Each structure stands twice: as structure tokens, then as C-alpha cells.
Amino acid sequence: RTKTVGLIVGSLREHSFNRIIAAAIPELDTSLAFEWIPLADLPLYNEDVDHGDGPEPVRRFREAINRVDGVIIVSPEYNSGIPGVLKNALDWASTPAKTAALRGKPVGLVGATPGVKGTILSQQQIRQTLEAIQARVLPFHKMYVSQVGDKVDAERRTLTDDTTRKYLKRYVQQFILWIDQARALD
């Protein structure tokens, strides 16, 4: 069976570098199916409205995560940490605890920044949040993209750096192996 990987981008910016990197992923492995899982419509988390299916955009978001075999999150770093829009989305995917969309879900982490530290700090926070949710984050392997402005064609919105593509491909291959390993933990 063809595996389907959900792609979540932690930036709402139209010309997001992280979106460009995420868009390069489906071209790396044509044996996989991919589904974009957008965050833009999600309301701010509010426990008062978090009952039953919740608000319609939340229902659709959770359903999309349930549908896919694994999720790759491609996110920027804001103020040395996780962007609020992404944290908000992860919180929605963390409830109800026993049937949470991300619980037990294989997750890969990628981050891009024009800076030189590759989103290390935001990825640490994302990992910590995902561990609280009991998502199964790909261990050992990391994928940081520094100085991303030099590695993409911003006009055409494509990844142009071959070295980055090579590492990204390796990361996706490790993630696909991880989907089966993580499933075996059930």
C-alpha cells in the first residue's frame, strides 16, 4: 500500500521559505503520496469549544491527521521557539487525550531559517510538545536548513541547493522507515 505523508507548515506567510522546503519533499520520493494539512483556518485553542468534533476547521484538521500514515512538520523558529500558529495547531491535535489525532502518530521535523542556527531551538520545543502528546517523533535524525535564502529560488518557489535536497531525501527515507518501526510499537 502506498504510504501517505501529511505536510504541515508552521508559517502562514504566502512566500514562506518553510513552505518552499515542504513543497520540495513530494518530488524526492514518487512512491509516496502527500497531503497538505493547512493551519490557516484553525481558531485559537479554547477548551470551552473543545467538545465533540469541535469547530469545523478543527474537525477537518484532526481528520486529515488521522487519514495519513505520518506527518512531516516544516516550521520556522520565532523568538528562539515554536511559532504560535503551530503550537495552537498541535494543541488542537492533542485532545481528547485518548483519541488525539497526533497520539501514536509518526512525526518528522524539518525547519528552515535565513539565520545560521537552523531552527534548533524551535525544533527542541516542537519535539517536547509532541512527546507530551505521545506522538512518535523520528529519533536520532535531524533536518536543519540554515541560510535558506541562498538555497531556494524565491521567485519560482523551488529548492535549488543540491546538498540540501540530498539531506532532505535522506531524512524522508529515514522517516518512511520510522513509520513502520513506530507502528510496530502499537
Give the footprint of ligand FNR on this chain (CB under 6 A). 11, 13, 16-18, 76-80, 113-115, 117, 119
Cβ nearer to ligand FNR, comparing 10 with 54: 10
Residues ≥6 apart with Cβ < 8 Å to 100: 93, 94, 133, 134
Cβ nearer to ligand FNR, comparing 69 with 77: 77
Q: Are 133 and 100 in contact (CB under 8 A)?
A: yes
| Strand pairing category for 70-74 and 4-9 | parallel
CA distance 167 to 144: 9
Q: How far is the CB of 34 from ligand FNR (least distance, A)?
A: 18
Q: How far is the CB of 122 from ligand FNR (least distance, A)?
A: 7
Q: How far is the CB of 113 from ligand FNR (least distance, A)?
A: 4
Cβ nearer to ligand FNR, comparing 46 with 80: 80
DSSP conformation letters of 150-161 = GTEETTTTEE--
